[in-house]
Structure 1
Amino acid sequence: MNTTPSSPSAAPAPLSLRPFRPADDAPALRRWITTRAELVTWAGPAFTWPLDDAQLTAYAAEPDRHTWTAVSPDGRPLGHISVRGTRLGRVLIAPEARGQGLGETLLTLAVARAFDELGLPSLDLGVYTHNTAAVRLYEKLGFRTEQVLKDVEEVDGVLWSALQMRLTAPDR
């Protein structure tokens, strides 16, 4: 009989990244983005409303685009993120999973992939100034504002401004 106390098993990571598969993952993205304003918040002016499978398939096939779906330990899609060149974007957590710290986990995983696997020297992103929770999270992770772009998008008659932010890879 083993009398050595057993060590507590580590809890499974709350998220992992796998490649975005439009055929499997597009329905979740469409379910999470229910208005034109949500679409613009997620992707800027790159897509047209309503979001559809053809747009998502073309997006996933863009040259130099790395797209990932964040999945729970049981394989449920809970988020999305992408990198194209040195541009991080299309960050989204499923509405039902928000407020649990998964955005930080998603970003941490993607930043690690960008710097460690893709070897990028830095990451840039754009975020609308009214998306204060996202701005706070990016700042917490070390992103710094490089530029403020005033009134770059009009949504439902309201002008939106954006921040351009950058995170430099740690010295190796």
Structure 2
Amino acid sequence: MSLNHRPVNTADIPVICTFPQSEDESLFFFPKATFPLHPTQLQAAIAQRADATVVERRGEVVAFANFYRWKAGGSCAIGNVIVAPTARGCGIGRYLVEKMIGLAFAKHQAAEVTVSCFNHNTAGLLLYPKLGFQPYALEERQSKHGKRLALVHMRLPRPAASNVTF
């Protein structure tokens, strides 16, 4: 599978907005947005975030993520992680998160990378620990319909070896 990643561009935004297929998927991807996601919502989020990144497979945009918090020498928080429905289950999410981890450690010299995942996002809950993330906090949230949710916060400390790459 030939994948590459690059910064997001304006033409990618309407494509990314088609990735969430339900209110739940929209919540996992972008909790503050309304479903269906409109490009102006995503553009506004990207403008306030760093390193908005897409993954391409055979020239087609199939995944997206960014940092909603970034601090040199501190913590980088990965957010807005989503994979196109047609590309799920084949390692693209892993590839994307690994690239974001690499950006956090190399570009931002982060001491740790964090990610948060809702309790019913099974794919995320299974992926992040495989990449070394460990839970450190649980936060109660509510869905737009008032349902109680748990947001699991996970972290990955910077590897001790300085030549580790992702």
Query: Is the shorter-chain TM-score for this pair beyond 0.5, marking a shared fold?
Result: yes
In structure 1, stretches of 5+ residues that fail to align are 1-12
Separation of aligned partners in 2, 1:14 and 1:158: 40
Q: CA RMSD in A?
A: 1.7
Aligned residue for 2:30, secondary structure, equals: helix
1:99-154 superposed Cα distances (whole Å, 9 cap, x missing partner): 1111111111111111112211111111001112211110010101011123x122
Pairs within 5 Å for 1:88-103: 88-103=78-93
Separation of aligned partners in 2, 1:37 and 1:133: 13
**Match 2:142 to one of 143, 149, 153:** 153
Separation of aligned partners in 2, 1:120 and 1:101: 25
What is the CA distance between 1:14 and its match in structure 2? 3.0
**Match 2:153 to one of 164, 167, 171:** 164
Q: State the structure with more CA Rg.
A: 1
What is the CA distance between 1:155 and its match in structure 2? 4.1
Aligned residue for 1:32, secondary structure, equals: coil
Q: Which amino acid aligns with 2:148?
A: L
Compared CA separation, residues 49 and 133, structure 1 to 2 (3 A): closer
The answer to whether 1:68 aligns with 2:22 is no
With structure 1 as the length reference, what TM-score do the two structures score? 0.82
Aligned residue for 1:103, secondary structure, equals: helix
Q: Contact conserved, 1:145 with 1:166, CA < 8 A, in 2?
A: yes
What is the CA distance between 1:34 and its match in structure 2? 3.3
Of all paired residues, the percent bearing the same amino acid is: 26
What is the CA distance between 1:157 and its match in structure 2? 4.7
Q: Which amino acid aligns with 2:4?
A: S
With structure 2 as the length reference, what TM-score do the two structures score? 0.85
**Match 2:14 to one of 27, 34, 38:** 27
Pairs within 5 Å for 1:10-159: 14-21=2-9, 23-44=10-31, 46-62=32-48, 65-72=50-57, 74-84=58-68, 85=70, 86-150=76-140, 152-159=141-148
Q: Which amino acid aligns with 1:90?
A: N
Q: Which amino acid aligns with 2:62?
A: L
1:41-96 superposed Cα distances (whole Å, 9 cap, x missing partner): 1122x22333212112211211x522001111x32101001113111111111100
| Partner of residue 73, structure 2 | none
Q: Contact conserved, 1:36 with 1:49, CA < 8 A, in 2?
A: yes
